[in-house]
Structure 1
Amino acid sequence: MEDAEPVPPDTDAGVNDRIARRVRELRTARGYSLDVLAARSGVSRSMISLIERAAASPTAVVLDKLATGLGVPLAGLFGGGREDAPVERLVRRARQPIWRDPESGYMRRNISPPGWPSPLHLVEVDFPPGARVAYEIGPRENVVHQQVWMLKGRIDLTLGDQLHELREGDCLAMRLDQPLIYSNPTRQSARYIVALCTEPAHPPGA
């Protein structure tokens, strides 16, 4: 009989606490009031307040808007550890935080060690059959490069007005500066790895 994979210590509530702490830290570090972040992100002041108190379960779309308003990739909202926690270069699979989107049901596992000072983030995603997530991506303060590597199943990924049908083994590279839609048109779940890398946007005339 095979041993079951250890369950990560982070429950949905635990990850919501992590997100709440991270959003507060980023907003405070940038000197943004709730009203300023609301204006920058398009997320209401009341919703941001609920998220920062871990009193709401935000969707992936809402979190992506917040991440854009804060100038970080979506993965950056999941990686913050306690301020007094030591930075580690290794995180075992059993300790990698898992979060499930309450709207689509897709599940993301943050692979990269939390808090490690690197512009690179790795995320593993399980995408349910029939699920669809649409990100309203626009210009960002930082340039975000992303690659999607399919491990199992199929995902239809629409970047701007271009559709890409991704199947096992395919890898798609993109820059996150256009609307982005993930959808699974099949009856089987899909699994893929997302690699994100951020770099400062070049100032005008640079």
Structure 2
Amino acid sequence: MNIDALIANRVRDLRKVRGYTLDELAESSGVSRSMISLIERQETSPTAAVLAKLADALNVTLATLFSDESGSAAAEPLARLSQQHVWKDPASGYVRRHVSPGGYASPIELVEVIFPPGKSVAFENVMRSLVTHQQVWMLEGEMEVTLGDRTWQLQTGDCLAMVLDQPLVFRNSSRKQARYAVALTTRPTNSRKA
């Protein structure tokens, strides 16, 4: 299954499991009904910012939208490189590899990102339904990471731990691509969305 088909199926399946119509998901996420419909029909490749809004409204992590959880009874604890889903953000050009085994019950998700020079991506929405802890480990290059009003300049080997409770921006203002690993874990908030 290609990555656009996987994303389309995950968004549609999660929407239906939660009993949302297209209009209800649009209202909850701030993503237009027509955009959600295009995503579900594989007629557009959504940006990372759009997927983050949909993930929050569906009460899942962004990584969940890239995970192939086709309902197999015994998920394998090993994800071979050839089985890891790779996606390219059409807005920034960053390439995201979902490293963790899909469907395997683990509190940790791992992602590898290759970020082009001179690009940035902003996640403006704050996860309302999940508390997400994330660590970014710079493997090559450098990145600027802004969480709320605080900014860090990461160099090769640096690791930044964050709670994603404010808008988040990744920026590569250098002339070389950056590569980093992301480890994240989530738990539900105490309050429930209306």
Which range, TM-score by smaller chain? over 0.9
Matches for 1:129-144 after TM superposition, within 5 Å: 129-144=117-132
Percent of counterpart pairs with the same letter?
Answer: 56
Q: In the aligned structure 1, how far is the partner of 2:8 from the partner of 2:74?
A: 20
Q: 1:78 to 1:85 in 2, by over 3 A?
A: farther
List per-residue Cα deviations over 1:83-127 (Å, max 9, x = no partner). Answer: 458521111112211000011110000000011122321000000
Moved >4 Å (runs of 4+): none
Q: TM-score, normalised by structure 1?
A: 0.89
State the match for 1:82 in structure 2: 70
Q: TM-score, normalised by structure 2?
A: 0.94
Q: Does structure 1 retain, via aligned residues, the 8 Å contact 2:92–2:119?
A: yes
Task: From 56, 59, 81, give the equivalent of 1:93.
Answer: 81
User: Aligned-pair distance for 1:56?
Assistant: 0.9
**Which ranges of structure 1 fall in alignment gaps of 5 or more residues?**
1-9
Task: From 132, 149, 154, give the equivalent of 2:142.
Answer: 154
Q: Does structure 2 retain, via aligned residues, the 8 Å contact 1:137–1:176?
A: no
Q: In the aligned structure 2, how far is the partner of 1:65 from the partner of 1:32?
A: 15
Task: From 17, 29, 54, give the equivalent of 2:42.
Answer: 54
User: Aligned-pair distance for 1:29?
Assistant: 1.2
List per-residue Cα deviations over 1:12-47 (Å, max 9, x = no partner). Answer: xx1000001111111111111111111111000011
Task: From 87, 94, 103, give the equivalent of 1:106.
Answer: 94
Q: Does structure 2 retain, via aligned residues, the 8 Å contact 1:18–1:81?
A: no
List per-residue Cα deviations over 1:124-150 (Å, max 9, x = no partner). Answer: 000000011011122411111111010
Judge which range, 32-41 or 195-204, deviates more: 195-204
**Which ranges of structure 2 fall in alignment gaps of 5 or more residues?**
none
Q: Does structure 2 retain, via aligned residues, the 8 Å contact 1:158–1:182?
A: yes
| Structure 1 residue matching 2:152: 3-state secondary structure | strand
CA RMSD of aligned residues (A): 1.5
State the match for 1:201 in structure 2: 189
2:104 paired with 1:119:
no
| Structure 2 residue matching 1:173: 3-state secondary structure | strand
| Structure 2 residue matching 1:174: 3-state secondary structure | strand
Q: In the aligned structure 2, how far is the partner of 1:100 from the partner of 1:180?
A: 19
User: Aligned-pair distance for 1:202?
Assistant: 2.0
Aligned residues: 192
Q: Does structure 1 retain, via aligned residues, the 8 Å contact 2:129–2:191?
A: no
User: Aligned-pair distance for 1:73?
Assistant: 1.2
Q: Does structure 2 retain, via aligned residues, the 8 Å contact 1:145–1:176?
A: yes
User: Aligned-pair distance for 1:153?
Assistant: 0.3
User: Aligned-pair distance for 1:72?
Assistant: 1.0
